[in-house]
A and B are shown apart, each in its own frame.
Chain A
């Protein structure tokens, strides 16, 4: 009886309880939007997809079971065991149980009750439904009309367009990672043609720096790094893959092809050098060279690593949990996990130990030379082979003579082999004798052998001087893959599985044939896969607004977040596929929208109603990525190298930062000259010791796939921008430009500097603040030339020639001003 009373009370006063707990309970409950998040977070752990952990044989993720067990009685919340249990005061009865540390809010309970009262309708999980591209009126911009529709629903308004300076600063940074030059800003401010903005966008999309900008996010997703990750964290050859990613974006390689080349670049019917470089994707995982590592252990780790990568990069599914048990919240089973891993069981690689050098990456002109050397080696080898009968006869003669009467002074192994009875000689013994005979005894073929050795050596020397890249090569025999019970690699009792696609998603029938990596890749970018296009579109949106339509970019499962504007995400996904996975088209569509062009300055009303900008009634504001912080300072200083691609580079780094690396111990040898001033994305990515300036600005270590970066605001960032020699050097080089190019007066110079660094002229009060600072430092350095020299000695870049004492003081003082500009919130912010 007491149970009943509680229920009646809560259904009489639901709204009061609801309002206390948060957003109002919608009049019409939608399962995916309103109910699934509550059930998933509070109930699925014991009453969800994981069969081994399921309690009372009840699952609430399948309607038939929930109804059969009377947990849910449609239309009758008061009779539903689910409702009775969550209202219970009995600690033995109440759900969720107290020791689960889960608790339903009053709003959660009201939602569930109303849902059951309305018939307890289920929906397929939103992300497993094929994207339904909504129809858009012919003259409307799809993005803008779908955002407007949603804003109207929640009673918000969109924002006016950003001013022109902000707009070009934003779109240049978003598309190339760079700042616009003052000339570009001026030109855009003056260009009043209706297509002025579209022309800027098209110029940026055609820039070689577009690919660099786009690569950053993808390199996080695939955990691209220059080192192996575990233990000794030694280098490996993969940078050509980074350049392949940049090239792919610049050439606007369609995303489906981009996918095929990475997962199966070696298996494609038209496989070539380029697609093989793409297949380095399969080699980007963590590996170990630790002594005492057990092959089975690392085979299991590597399989899991690859499954997580497919989950993170394409499916937006957190597959990792299924290594040990069926997923708690999503229908991804342990079998799905190992069957997905089995696609990669053909990748030829050492499980433990040093990676191979990889494929030689010869630029086209070198490729011909390499091919010529290959032909040369083949010819010499043929010449030697032609002598085989003669060799064999002479060898047999010598061996039999030497067995009868061994010559003196033979190497130990040769003597030992000769001592044996000819019938008991092993293959190894025979090889030893053959080598000895051919290289030391034989008089025939000397010339041919020498020529072969020389040709081989020449080829090797040349090949070694070329870049290499780890790529995927399929082994003729796949490793056997077993389901590991509880993920335990010592347990051999699990069933052997072959490659298969996850059972809960629509998939093709391979007619009994075991599918391979190419099949997997084709399925990932097939129309029937409901996830990939959404996941990619969401990440793109995140890049251009600072947050995705679903804010949990890495999890499109039950524990992720259904997008508030699902229609928009579906439209983007649908458009992406309809246009043949054309990335530039999608990017262009987004940045041309009025939604993208809105101001990022929020009104107090907007901040109150939508503090996190979930409805996109304005643009986002955020500190730019670690790589771009560096690019901005170097660019404004005029130091930034515009070169695209090449080996990773080593900028200044604190001494002894690598002192705790070992096997072998390593000295950090920083680069000199142009390589010191490359863009942030080329910085050497040492997984266990990422460059401290990159780490301070939230660059991920890339040990695991990351669909998003956190954006912390921590004191280490201030220390980097104030004191890291890269930034101090950039400040003094910028200062020299200010002094020489900025004009005749301090005010003019300051205005010039503002245009360079912030793309605007400083206000009167800013000018006053900075002028006072400049004056203070001038006074100090005029009195202390040694201090000026010391500051200006930071970094390798040369000082302007012929500076007298006054000039040094002036330059040092302006270095402080330049440094102040680099440290401004505005400088590191994309608004």
Chain B
């Protein structure tokens, strides 16, 4: 490594600094009237300190199944729905409720398309399309009674990620890093990866989904790419060597130092630290992305080929990120939006994700990290028990009254099923959960009281968990 003229206090550079704008105002107002010294100490560890609750989980891996997987073919068995296949959906359930692409269509019951089987010590029923997850079901807390507010993809993603359907709010990964700070000195605290590869026509995913919103932009998610530069502009131009890059950065730093001696601008020390961080990242990110050091057993466990950009490779990278202290990792796997071709396409998505998601749990557990890592698997909404037939072979429409999702690790009970839907799976009826509840529970496990974790924005004490109120889902906590 190049010798560097950086002083030790410029470490933790990724924390960066904001001097103006909403971010600064938000930051200052959260800290109330504490002194500047306290503020800078707080920024090294996050603004919530000391933590008001015991910290059960230190990190989060959030597996986003974008498009909205059908619960009827994955986690919510409905024999009654099978029995009523082809019959009209009872109007008592559907009258006056929101519909997306089924607006103006006939509403007909559609049987679950694949058999379910019993797994684990509690004989939990899940789809036979998910045998690997079945194998780790005793580590999984399955929630069958999740609901959400939105039924179109874009607003539903925003709601799941930011707790609001209006753009401009921070994503949960930004909130968590803002609250807890980053433990990684040379990687961002919030990392996002999207599966690359062939697909039909998956739903778009906007950078807004990992935006820091009104929080300082150093908390925004940084997307790691499997092809090209893992981080934008990570590679040196042409054949510039690391030594040359180091020489340039060193010269920049020396000139910045000299300038600071004339103008006494505290922002310059921050700028110097950012250049060190950038230079470190140019080494640490390629090292992170390089899976060649993983042994064959691990690669086989996940079922991935290094560098293929698959969900499996991203799950393995998520474990490597967790090992390096990254606080919040969000993986996107797209193409779960089965308005049609449900029978044909959904099994493919299951196959792409089942083994790797299960491997992630197994691997974290083997390495003693599952206890401290909360793993979440969810779409942005569920799907209708009614069929959709206006786009080719049968599928299911978007649905917000019932959906299934699961959590593992991070102090959540394994092997349980929480909540239930009615016998046709139209609506969650038992232990109904909301997205705000899910966020509240996640924050709770991280040691943060969701209702006290606020930032002043547009005059309001803005919270990840919104203004309507939220409840920690106590029943699922170990």
B478 within 8 A of A: no
A717 within 8 A of B: yes
Query: Is A320 a contact of B100 with CB atoms below 8 Å?
Result: no
CB within 8 A of B259: which of A551, A554, A825? A825
| CB nearest to A776 among chain B residues | B247
B21 within 8 A of A: yes
Query: Is B19 a contact of A725 with CB atoms below 8 Å?
Result: no
Q: Which residues of A contact B260 (CB under 8 A)?
A: 825
* Min distance, Cβ B195 to any Cβ of chain A, angstroms: 10
Q: Which of A126-134, A405-413, A656-664 contacts B (4 or more CB under 8 A)?
A: A656-664
* Min distance, Cβ A390 to any Cβ of chain B, angstroms: 44
CB within 8 A of B16: which of A328, A715, A820? A715
A635 within 8 A of B: no
| CB nearest to B460 among chain A residues | A321
| Residues 184-215 of B contacting A (Cβ, < 8 Å) | 194, 196, 201-208, 211
CB within 8 A of B255: which of A554, A698, A824? A824
CB within 8 A of A769: which of B23, B245, B254? B254
In the assembly, what is the distance between CA of A717 and CA of B274, in Å?
8
| Residues 527-563 of A contacting B (Cβ, < 8 Å) | 546-547, 551-552, 554-555, 557-560
**How many A-B pairs fall under 8 Å by CB?**
284
CB within 8 A of A794: which of B207, B238, B241? B238
In the assembly, what is the distance between CA of A293 and CA of B222, in Å?
30
* Min distance, Cβ B30 to any Cβ of chain A, angstroms: 11
In the assembled complex, 12 residue pairs joining A and B whose CB atoms fall closer than 8 Å, in A order, are A232-B204, A291-B100, A293-B152, A558-B459, A559-B460, A655-B227, A710-B23, A718-B278, A719-B231, A719-B278, A816-B247, A824-B255
* Min distance, Cβ A578 to any Cβ of chain B, angstroms: 30
Q: Which of B171-179, B261-269, B313-321, B357-365 contacts A (4 or more CB under 8 A)?
A: B261-269
Q: Which residues of B contact A709 (CB under 8 A)?
A: 20-21
| Residues 654-711 of A contacting B (Cβ, < 8 Å) | 654-657, 659-663, 665, 687-690, 692-693, 695-696, 698, 701, 703-704, 708-711
B36 within 8 A of A: yes
Query: Is B259 a contact of A723 with CB atoms below 8 Å?
Result: no
In the assembly, what is the distance between CA of A559 and CA of B26, in Å?
12
CB within 8 A of A825: which of B17, B256, B339? B256
Q: Which residues of A contact B429 (CB under 8 A)?
A: none
Query: Is A711 a contact of B19 with CB atoms below 8 Å?
Result: yes
Query: Is B255 a contact of A766 with CB atoms below 8 Å?
Result: yes
A738 within 8 A of B: no
* Min distance, Cβ B381 to any Cβ of chain A, angstroms: 11
A350 within 8 A of B: no
Q: Which of B347-355, B430-438, B450-458 contacts A (4 or more CB under 8 A)?
A: B450-458
In the assembly, what is the distance between CA of A169 and CA of B397, in Å?
59
Query: Is B228 a contact of A719 with CB atoms below 8 Å?
Result: no
Q: Which residues of B contact A231 (CB under 8 A)?
A: 152-154, 203-204
| Residues 287-340 of A contacting B (Cβ, < 8 Å) | 288, 290-294, 297, 318, 320-321, 328-330
B18 within 8 A of A: yes
CB within 8 A of B96: which of A490, A604, A724, A728? A490
Query: Is B204 a contact of A546 with CB atoms below 8 Å?
Result: no
Query: Is A555 a contact of B459 with CB atoms below 8 Å?
Result: yes
Task: Give B206-235 as 1s and 0s: 1 = Cβ < 8 Å from A's Cβ atoms.
Answer: 111001000011100010010111011111
| Residues 95-129 of B contacting A (Cβ, < 8 Å) | 96, 98-101, 103
Query: Is A710 a contact of B458 with CB atoms below 8 Å?
Result: no
A426 within 8 A of B: no
CB within 8 A of B236: which of A293, A559, A560, A723? A723
CB within 8 A of A662: which of B168, B201, B222, B451? B201
B244 within 8 A of A: yes
A101-B454, A689-B206, A719-B233 are known contacts. Are A611 and B36 too (CB-CB below 8 A)?
Answer: yes
In the assembly, what is the distance between CA of A232 and CA of B203, in Å?
8
CB within 8 A of B274: which of A546, A715, A787? A715
CB within 8 A of A690: which of B154, B207, B451, B460? B207
Q: Which residues of B contact A655 (CB under 8 A)?
A: 227-228
In the assembly, what is the distance between CA of A656 and CA of B194, in Å?
12
Query: Is A769 a contact of B255 with CB atoms below 8 Å?
Result: yes
Q: How large is the interface on A (under 10, 10 to 19, 20 to 34, 35 or more residues)?
A: 35 or more
* Min distance, Cβ A274 to any Cβ of chain B, angstroms: 31
Q: Which residues of B contact A763 (CB under 8 A)?
A: 258
Query: Is A820 a contact of B100 with CB atoms below 8 Å?
Result: no
CB within 8 A of B239: which of A297, A698, A720, A791? A791
B237 within 8 A of A: yes
Residues of A within 8 A of B (CB): 21-22, 99, 101, 105, 107, 229-233, 286, 288, 290-294, 297, 318, 320-321, 328-330, 490, 546-547, 551-552, 554-555, 557-560, 600-602, 604, 607, 611, 621-623, 654-657, 659-663, 665, 687-690, 692-693, 695-696, 698, 701, 703-704, 708-720, 722-725, 728, 763, 765-766, 769-770, 773, 776-777, 780, 784, 786-787, 790-794, 816, 819-820, 823-826, 829, 831
CB within 8 A of B233: which of A659, A688, A692, A826? A692
Query: Is B204 a contact of A725 with CB atoms below 8 Å?
Result: no
- Shortest beta-carbon contacts, A-B, top 10: A559-B459, A292-B100, A688-B206, A710-B21, A791-B238, A718-B278, A790-B238, A703-B167, A292-B101, A318-B458
Query: Is B167 a contact of A722 with CB atoms below 8 Å?
Result: no
B248 within 8 A of A: yes
In the assembly, what is the distance between CA of A794 and CA of B36, in Å?
44
| CB nearest to A688 among chain B residues | B206
Task: Give B439-478 as 1s and 0s: 1 = Cβ < 8 Å from A's Cβ atoms.
Answer: 0000000000001101010111100000000000000000
Q: Which residues of B contact A551 (CB under 8 A)?
A: 25
* Min distance, Cβ A624 to any Cβ of chain B, angstroms: 12
B24 within 8 A of A: yes
Q: Which residues of B contact A99 (CB under 8 A)?
A: 451
* Min distance, Cβ A118 to any Cβ of chain B, angstroms: 23
Q: Which residues of B contact A661 (CB under 8 A)?
A: 204
B14 within 8 A of A: yes
Query: Is A786 a contact of B268 with CB atoms below 8 Å?
Result: no
Q: Which residues of A contact B235 (CB under 8 A)?
A: 723
CB within 8 A of B167: which of A292, A665, A701? A701
B55 within 8 A of A: no
Query: Is A547 a contact of B20 with CB atoms below 8 Å?
Result: yes
List 16 other contacts, CB 8 Å, given A292-B397, A663-B204: A230-B155, A291-B100, A292-B398, A293-B100, A297-B152, A654-B232, A660-B334, A709-B20, A717-B274, A718-B278, A719-B232, A723-B237, A763-B258, A769-B255, A825-B256, A825-B268
B141 within 8 A of A: no
In the assembly, what is the distance between CA of A445 and CA of B243, in Å?
81
B275 within 8 A of A: yes
In the assembly, what is the distance between CA of A600 and CA of B263, in Å?
8
Query: Is A656 a contact of B216 with CB atoms below 8 Å?
Result: no
* Min distance, Cβ A610 to any Cβ of chain B, angstroms: 13
| CB nearest to A728 among chain B residues | B237
Query: Is B454 a contact of A723 with CB atoms below 8 Å?
Result: no
In the assembly, what is the distance between CA of A815 and CA of B371, in Å?
51
Query: Is A825 a contact of B265 with CB atoms below 8 Å?
Result: yes
Query: Is A718 a contact of B274 with CB atoms below 8 Å?
Result: yes
Query: Is B202 a contact of A662 with CB atoms below 8 Å?
Result: yes
Query: Is A714 a contact of B234 with CB atoms below 8 Å?
Result: no
Q: Which residues of B contact A554 (CB under 8 A)?
A: 22, 458
B33 within 8 A of A: yes
Residue of B25, B251, B264 most packed against chain A (CB within 10 A): B251
* Min distance, Cβ B206 to any Cβ of chain A, angstroms: 3
CB within 8 A of B24: which of A710, A784, A825? A710
A708-B22, A787-B238 are known contacts. Are A329 and B103 too (CB-CB below 8 A)?
Answer: no
Q: Which residues of B contact A291 (CB under 8 A)?
A: 100-101, 339
Q: Which residues of A contact B263 (CB under 8 A)?
A: 600-601, 621, 831
Q: Which residues of B contact A701 (CB under 8 A)?
A: 167, 207-208, 211
* Min distance, Cβ A529 to any Cβ of chain B, angstroms: 20
Query: Is A777 a contact of B270 with CB atoms below 8 Å?
Result: no
Task: Give B123-159 as 1s and 0s: 1 = Cβ < 8 Å from A's Cβ atoms.
Answer: 0000000000000000000000000000111110000
Q: Which residues of A contact B259 (CB under 8 A)?
A: 824-826
